[in-house]
């Protein structure tokens, strides 16, 4: 797939099924994440691949976090079932360090770029996904499960698999005018 076509026609897919990227496909996705812009070559990220029994462990973690947050039964059930929306999830944690040239916000953006690069690599190989966050990314229970230190931040959960619904082939070309100023 042409890189420019991929970027300007990108869409998230929330209904995902098997097969998920595996083997060389998954390696390509992770390598793409490692190529994110990275001032100071700090590599301020860590990727947690969640599949198979890992989805069950992630489900238990989210259920505990939702319970600790005082969510109602509907919220707890949503948390418990969310890891089963896709056959593969990659959790991305910004592993931030105090640095004299690279502020923490820039390290967070770099980890965010890694998520975008991984989603594009999945699309380029015929898969799709959706980048999810939510209030439980800041939960102490979830942060502990992903070995977050105080300065670290979970920047997202990239749900990946094969889209169940075919995306529309017509994409509305966005009007960039309200978002662009020539300085």
Q: How many CB atoms lie within 10 A of CB 108?
A: 17
Question: Which of 52, 48, 78, 80 lies closest to 64, judged by CA?
Answer: 80
pLDDT of residue 47: 98
CATH number for the domain harbouring residue 148: 3.40.109.10
Q: Is 10 annotated as a binding residue?
A: yes
Q: Is 11 annotated as a binding residue?
A: yes
The distance from CA 85 to its chain's CA centroid, rounded to whole angstroms, is: 14
pLDDT of residue 1: 67
Residue 8 lies in a domain: no
Residue 89 lies in a domain: yes
Ordered mean pLDDT values, 10 residues apiece, the chain (183 residues): 84 93 98 96 97 98 98 98 98 96 96 98 95 96 98 97 78 88 93
pLDDT of residue 174: 86
Q: What are phi and psi of 126, to 5 degrees?
A: 95, 5
Q: Is 81 annotated as a binding residue?
A: no
Residue 75 lies in a domain: yes
Q: How many CB atoms lie within 10 A of CB 120?
A: 18
Residue 174 lies in a domain: no
Residue 44 lies in a domain: yes
Torsion angle (degrees, nearest 10) of CA 171, 88, 86, 90: -70
Q: Is 131 annotated as a binding residue?
A: yes
Residue 6 lies in a domain: no
Q: Is 149 annotated as a binding residue?
A: no
Q: Is 162 annotated as a binding residue?
A: no
Write the DSSP string, 7-49.
Answer: HHT------EESPPP-HHHHHHHHHHHHTS--GGG----EEEE
pLDDT of residue 169: 59
Torsion angle (degrees, nearest 10) of CA 30, 13, 92, 151: 150
Q: What is the pTM of this model?
A: 0.93
Sequence-ordered list of residues with C-beta below 8 angstroms from that of 15, at least 6 positions apart, any chain: 85, 163, 164, 165
Residue 119 lies in a domain: yes
Q: Is 85 annotated as a binding residue?
A: no
Sequence-ordered list of residues with C-beta below 8 angstroms from that of 95, at least 6 positions apart, any chain: 44, 45, 46, 107, 111, 149, 152
Could you list the residue range(s) of the whole structural domain that residue 62 is in? 19-163
Q: Is 39 annotated as a binding residue?
A: yes
pLDDT of residue 4: 87
Residue 169 lies in a domain: no
**Domain count within the chain:** 1
pLDDT of residue 59: 98
């Amino acid at each position: 797939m042409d890189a420019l076509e991929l970027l300007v026609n990108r869409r998230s897919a929330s209904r995902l099924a098997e097969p998920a990227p595996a083997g060389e496909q998954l390696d390509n996705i992770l390598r793409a994440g490692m190529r994110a812009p990275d001032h100071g070559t700090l590599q301020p990220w860590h990727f947690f691949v969640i599949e198979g029994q890992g989805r069950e462990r992630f489900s238990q973690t989210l259920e505990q976090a939702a319970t600790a947050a005082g969510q109602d039964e509907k919220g707890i059930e949503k948390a418990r079932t969310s890891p089963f929306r896709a056959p593969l999830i990659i959790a991305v944690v910004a592993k931030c360090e105090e640095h004299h040239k690279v502020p923490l916000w820039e390290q967070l953006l770099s980890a965010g770029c890694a998520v975008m690069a991984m989603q594009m690599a999945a699309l380029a190989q015929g898969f799709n996904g959706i980048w999810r966050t939510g209030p439980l990314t800041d939960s102490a229970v979830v942060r502990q499960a992903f070995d977050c230190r105080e300065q670290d931040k979970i920047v997202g959960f990239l749900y990946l698999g094969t889209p169940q619904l075919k995306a529309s082939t017509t994409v509305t070309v966005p009007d960039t005018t309200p978002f662009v100023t020539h300085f």
